[in-house]
Structure formats: structure tokens, C-alpha cells
Structure 1
């Protein structure tokens, strides 16, 4: 039953029988047969079928909720038994918003020193993708925004508050200013993250409140791309101070705090709302709480 539920979750996620089969490492006929067997066992139709996948039935949507819970609980049980035999070990899958990628090492480095048998897979994803991946059991935890947009039923550990700065080359005319207001960014050639990023939506909102329409010259999904353009000269970007720190070490860039307002948005670790958590995930949540205390001090 668990294997069939895993295939059903994959089908709901991929919305395509072939891709779902590939993600599960089985043939498409095997996956189709497993879904049909699951329907026969439950006595309801789960999937609208035609020449291709056409969505879940209302019963299928309800079964999907149960499937996520049952599969998640089964994985938790296996992980707990493994921890009892071997101590904390395995692979933690973590998805991170781009502006927190430079922070993630603060979380993982200390954790892996304490638990050397635990490995990490770290993915860069948008806040919306992180929630979807968490719901579909594709990741174990996410590092994302805790405010602004609904998170649903998750466990959260706040770690730090994002504050924003204008990032310029050190020889830019504005580089020696102690601070700058959002309303002063009117004539700058900005490069910003793409609109699917929550950071971009936050910045667009603050610019709008200052009477400025966000029309960046460059849009990118990577901080490296933004910083590369700033270094070429002529462009500026807006980043959280913590995200910019690693780029400021070269001395070629300046970070001017943005005021009026001094905007602040919480970032933290999220995990499925499940008790108990796997031992390794519970340890990661504890590590996140310790990191939060460090940033607060």
C-alpha cells in the first residue's frame, strides 16, 4: 500500500503518468497498474483519465491528503528506527530561497560537525516551490520567508530578520551615503530578482509605497547574476544585508542601508507539521533555534 501511495503522490505532483513513473523509477504501465489497484482497494476512482492525465477526482484529492500523511509517517518511523540502530545519519533535503543561500552554511556547518553521518542536499527554490515540495514530500525542510504569504500547516523556527540595502560599486556617486530612502531610487538602473521570487514582490511593494514603479533593467533568478552586473558598473541592486555580506568582502561593493521604512521580514526554517519529527529533522530544528539565538545576541 505504501508504494502505491508514493506513486499516487508522484502522479499528483507531476500530472503526467510518464514523468511520475520516471520519478518513481518504474515503468509507466507499472505505475498505471498500481494506481488502478489502489482504486480497486479503496473502491473509488482517484484519477480522471483520457488520452492523458486530467486531474484528480474529489475522492482522489482527499486520498492525496491521507497519502501524504501516511507516507510521511511511514518515512518518519523508518528514520527513527535507523537512528536507534545507527545514530543520526542519512541525507537531509533542504530547499532555500535565493536570498538565504549565503546563510545556509551557518546552519549546516555546525550541524554536520555535531552529526558527521548526516549529509545535505541543498536546492535553490522560490518560496512557493518550497511549500509545494514540502507538501509533496520532496524535501525535508525549507529555509524561507515566514511572513507576507500563507505557509499552511508547517512547523516554523524564526532565524533572522531581513533588512535591505542598496548594493553599488564602491566608486558609485551614492556609495559614500550613510543611508538612503526608498524614494531616492527613482533614477537608478536597477537589476532585481525575477517576479516569481518573494523577495522581488517585497521590494516591489516597498518601491510602490515610495511612489516608484519597479522597472529593472535586468531581472534574474540568481544573486550572482545581479552582483555581476553591479560590478560591471552602471547598475545597482537591492539585497538583504545578510545575503550581500559574502559579496562585500572583496571591497569592490558598498551597501547603503535603506530607510523610510527600515523594512524587516522574518526568515526561518520550516518543516512538515508532524509529531514526532524524525530524529535528524528534530535535531535540525534545534540547530535552527540555536542559530536564531546567535543572531539575536
Structure 2
């Protein structure tokens, strides 16, 4: 039953039988048979389909909520039993906004040191993707903004507050200033994160509040690409302080300047599905996040 519910969740997530089968490591006929058997067991049609996937029926939409809950409960139950017998073990899938990847590394190092039988998979994702992955049971937790855009019904644990800074080449005019205001960046050659990143939306809001229309000649979903452009010439980027320090380490040609009137700093922390009880591994990860936050407070 649980395996068939996982098939159903995968089809709803992918919106395509072939991609759903591939994500589960199954053949498409096996997936289709499993969905049909599930529908026969429940006595309702879950999916509209003709020659291709046609969306969920009203019954399917209601069933999806229960399927996610049941699959999540089953996974929690299995992990509880495994922990009782073997101690904390398994795999934690952590989805992280790009600007928080250095913090993800710090959290991972502490967590795996305390729990050596647990493995972590860390993926760089947008804040919107993180919430979708939590809902679809593709991620166990995430690191994302907590106080800027709606999160929905999730459990949160604050980790740090993000402070924005300018990263520029030491020979640039901006580098000659001790502090920079948003208005100073008007007309500069900017390279920034892509608009689908919440960090970019925060930056845009600050620019607009200063009466500046931000124009990035280069956009990327990678902070490494942004720092590399600054290193290559007369580019300027905007990054959180911790990420900027990490990327500029050992590069004396790159300088970091604080932004005056940078707007309200935003909280970043752990987000996880809202449920009780959490799996033993997730409970331990939440506790480690709280401990890391206190260590850097």
C-alpha cells in the first residue's frame, strides 16, 4: 500500500508518468499498474488519463493530502524502529538556498560529527523549490529565509541573520569607499543572482527603496559564478557577509564593503514539515541547528 502511495505522489509531483517512473527507478508499465491497483483498492479514480497524464481528479486531490501524510508516517515509523535497534542512522536530504551553503556546511560538519552513522545529501535550491520539495517528501528539511515571504505550515528553527555586503575589485571606485549606499551602485556593472532567488528579490526591494532600478548585466544561480566575475574585472556583486568572506578568502584583489541602510536583515534557518513527532534524525538536526545558532550568537 505505502509503495503504491509513493507511486501516486510521484505522478502528482512530476505531472508525467514517464518522469515519475524514472524518479522511482521503475518502468512505466509497472508504475501504471501500481496506480491502477491503488485506484481499485480505494474504489475511486485518482488521475485523469487518456493517452497522457491529465491531472488529478477531485478524489485524487483529496487522496494526495492523505498519501503524503501516510507515507511520511510510515517513514517516521521505520526510522523510529531502526533508531531503537541501531541508534541514529540513515540519510538526511537537506535543500538549501545558495546564500546559506556555507552555513549548511557548518551544520553538516557538527551534525555528522555527533551522529557518524547519518549521511547528508545537500542540494542548492531556491526558497520556492525548498517548500515544494518538503511538501512532496523530496527533502527532509531545508535552510531558507524565515521572515520575508510566506512559508506556509512548516516547523522553523532560526539559525542566523543575513547581512548584505558589496563585493568588488580593489581597483574599482566602490572599493575606495569605506561604506556604500544603495544609490552608489546606480549605473555600476552588476552581476547578481537570478530573479527566481529570494535573495535577488530582497536586493531588488532595497534598490527600489533607494530609487534605483537594478540592472544586472550577468545573472546566475551560483554565487561562485558571481565572485568569479568580480575577480575577472570591473564587476560588482552583492552577497551576504558570510558567503562573501568565504568566496573572497585568499583573494586580496577582492574587497568587501558594508552597505549603509541595507534595510532590515532577514532571518535564515531550518524549515521542516510541520508534524509531530518528527523523525529521530530530524529532531536531532533541529537540536543541532539550535546549538549552532547559539554558538555564533
User: Do both proteins adopt the same fold according to a TM-score greater than 0.5, normalized to the shorter chain?
Assistant: yes
Which residue does the alignment assign to 2:271?
270
Counting matched residue pairs gives 296
| SS in structure 2 of the partner of residue 32 of structure 1 | helix
Which residue does the alignment assign to 1:124?
124
1:243-254 to structure 2, matched below 5 A, reads 243-250=243-250, 251-254=252-255
1:255-266 to structure 2, matched below 5 A, reads 255-266=256-267
1:80-229 to structure 2, matched below 5 A, reads 80-229=80-229
| SS in structure 2 of the partner of residue 101 of structure 1 | helix
Q: Does 1:236 align with 2:228?
A: no
Which residue does the alignment assign to 1:12?
12
- Superposition deviation, residue 294 in structure 1: 1.9
- Is contact 2:186-2:214 (8 Å) kept? no
Moved over 2 A (4+): none
| SS in structure 2 of the partner of residue 277 of structure 1 | coil
Q: Does 1:76 align with 2:76?
A: yes
Q: 1:263, 1:192 → 2: CA distance?
A: 19
- TM-superposition CA deviations, 1:38-88 (whole Å, max 9, x none): 112222211111211111111111110110010001000101111111111
Q: 2:213, 2:242 → 1: CA distance?
A: 25
- Which 5+ residue runs of structure 2 have no aligned equivalent? none
Q: 1:142, 1:245 → 2: CA distance?
A: 23
Which residue does the alignment assign to 1:284?
285
Q: CA RMSD in A?
A: 1.1
- Is contact 1:189-1:216 (8 Å) kept? yes
- TM-superposition CA deviations, 1:88-110 (whole Å, max 9, x none): 11111111100011111110111
- TM-superposition CA deviations, 1:209-267 (whole Å, max 9, x none): 11111210100110111001001111100111111111222222111111224431110
1:29-40 to structure 2, matched below 5 A, reads 29-40=29-40
TM-score under structure 2 length normalisation: 0.97
- Is contact 2:164-2:262 (8 Å) kept? no
- Is contact 1:11-1:20 (8 Å) kept? yes
- Is contact 2:72-2:137 (8 Å) kept? yes
Which residue does the alignment assign to 1:53?
53
| SS in structure 1 of the partner of residue 216 of structure 2 | coil
- Is contact 2:224-2:247 (8 Å) kept? no
Q: 1:99, 1:283 → 2: CA distance?
A: 24
TM-score under structure 1 length normalisation: 0.97
- Which 5+ residue runs of structure 1 have no aligned equivalent? none
Deviates more, 1:86-95 or 1:167-176: 167-176
Deviates more, 1:134-143 or 1:38-47: 38-47
- Superposition deviation, residue 171 in structure 1: 2.3
Q: 2:281, 2:69 → 1: CA distance?
A: 19
- Is contact 2:2-2:71 (8 Å) kept? yes
